[in-house]
Amino acid sequence: MIVRPRPTFLQLFFVMRGSVVPRILPQIFGFAIYSAVILALARWFQLDLGVFNITPFGLVGVTLSIYLSFRNNAAYDRWWEARKLWGTLVFEIRNLARATTSLISDQTEQRALLMEALAFCHFLRGQLRKIDSVKDTRAFIDAEADTVASFANPADEMVRRMGRRANARRRAGEIDSIGFRILDERLASITAIQAGCERIAGTPLPFAYTLLVHRTAYIVCLLLPIGLISTTGWATPLFMALIAYTFFGLDALSEELEDPFGTEANDLALDGLCRVCEISVFEALGETPPKMIPAEKFYFS
């Protein structure tokens, strides 16, 4: 995730980090060159393209704008919902820390339960990013990390372990039914967060949208120079570059936001959010919390 102050007027045109421009340079230059070739051919053979103009593109443009606008909104909603789910995780971890330290008097058990919660966060992060996060969880649950990692769904197993621990306290008579219910509600909410994240990570936007948007955008950009030449003349490549920038820029950004759990520039800072959970848990246990992860050139991992 990029967090940086607003760039100045000049910086604006040269900032690359966080921008989608590097990803769509092929399209921008491709269509500029393509239209320059069309232009050269038309001038060379003295083709009369005056009868063509861009009016017919208006109707297609309306549909294309519906596609782009819809896809952008849907992708952003997924990104923001993913952020909300992790925000919910933060406060459920805090609630769990408060409830655990209140209801469970045995400090070893307190700590063990909360360490499992932190391991859950890191397992979930690993599953969503499709990376190996077992080494991060070892800091909290030691050798158990490898046992858990052998499960089909390690994060799910962590919640079950917390549930078993809470239940053991209930059976030991340390917490009553209401106390167990308070802890169980926290775990139910954490389970919901996991399923929500799995939903976003596992169900992309219907593939047919991607095809519709891409095909329409490419066909329009392939036909457009013919319609533009009579109006914009030698400036056609410039206009084509601008149009390709706006079409494919929005498209590339939507694609990046659609899967918010990656490690691209505009994806969520899951490392940082795990650290926020750690800080709250260690402060609740009265231990020294770790430092917040600093940004690297405005980028939070």
Side-chain-side CA neighbours of residue 137 (13 Å): 27
**Paired strand residues for 2:** 299
- Of 111, 239, 261, 270, the one binding a second copy (CB under 8 A) is 239
Rounded to a whole number of angstroms, the minimum distance from the CB of residue 144 to a second copy is 16
Spatial distance between the Cα atoms of 40 and 42, rounded to a whole number of angstroms = 5
Q: Give the C-alpha distances (Å, rounded to integers) separating 133 from 129, 161, 264, 271, 272.
A: 9, 18, 18, 11, 14
Residue 3 vs 131, nearer CB to a second copy: 3
For a second copy, what does the binding mask look like between residues 60 and 89, x meaning CB under 8 A? xxxxxxxxxxx-xxx-x--x---xx--xx-
Kindly state whether residue 43 participates in binding a second copy, applying the rule CB under 8 A: no
Residue 37 vs 234, nearer CB to a second copy: 234
Rounded to a whole number of angstroms, the minimum distance from the CB of residue 147 to a second copy is 13
173 phi/psi in degrees, rounded to 5: 80, 5
DSSP 3-state of 2? strand
Kindly state whether residue 212 participates in binding a second copy, applying the rule CB under 8 A: yes
Residue 144 vs 231, nearer CB to a second copy: 231
169 touches 109 (CB < 8 A): yes
Rounded to a whole number of angstroms, the minimum distance from the CB of residue 237 to a second copy is 12
Rounded to a whole number of angstroms, the minimum distance from the CB of residue 206 to a second copy is 4
Of residues 246 through 265, those in contact with a second copy by CB under 8 A are: 246-247, 249-250, 253, 255-257, 265
Kindly state whether residue 2 participates in binding a second copy, applying the rule CB under 8 A: yes
The site for a second copy, by CB under 8 A, has a size of: 127
For a second copy, what does the binding mask look like between residues 128 and 147, x meaning CB under 8 A? --------------------
85 touches 193 (CB < 8 A): yes
Rounded to a whole number of angstroms, the minimum distance from the CB of residue 1 to a second copy is 7
Kindly state whether residue 95 participates in binding a second copy, applying the rule CB under 8 A: yes
Of residues 99 through 128, those in contact with a second copy by CB under 8 A are: 99, 101-103
For a second copy, what does the binding mask look like between residues 153 and 192, x meaning CB under 8 A? x--xx-xx--xx-xx--x-----xxxxxxx-x--xx--xx
Helices (H), 233-299: 236-258, 270-284
Residue that has been written with the tokens 């849907």 in this structure: 74
Options 52-60, 106-114, 117-125, 135-143: segment touching a second copy (CB under 8 A): 52-60
Rounded to a whole number of angstroms, the minimum distance from the CB of residue 261 to a second copy is 14
Spatial distance between the Cα atoms of 130 and 300, rounded to a whole number of angstroms = 18
- Of 231, 271, 293, 295, the one binding a second copy (CB under 8 A) is 231
Rounded to a whole number of angstroms, the minimum distance from the CB of residue 218 to a second copy is 7
Spatial distance between the Cα atoms of 141 and 122, rounded to a whole number of angstroms = 11
Residue 268's CB: how many other CB atoms inside 10 A? 24
107 exposure class (CB count in 10 Å sphere: 0-12, 13-18, 19+): exposed
38 touches 229 (CB < 8 A): yes
Sign of CA dihedral 213, 216, 220, 221: positive
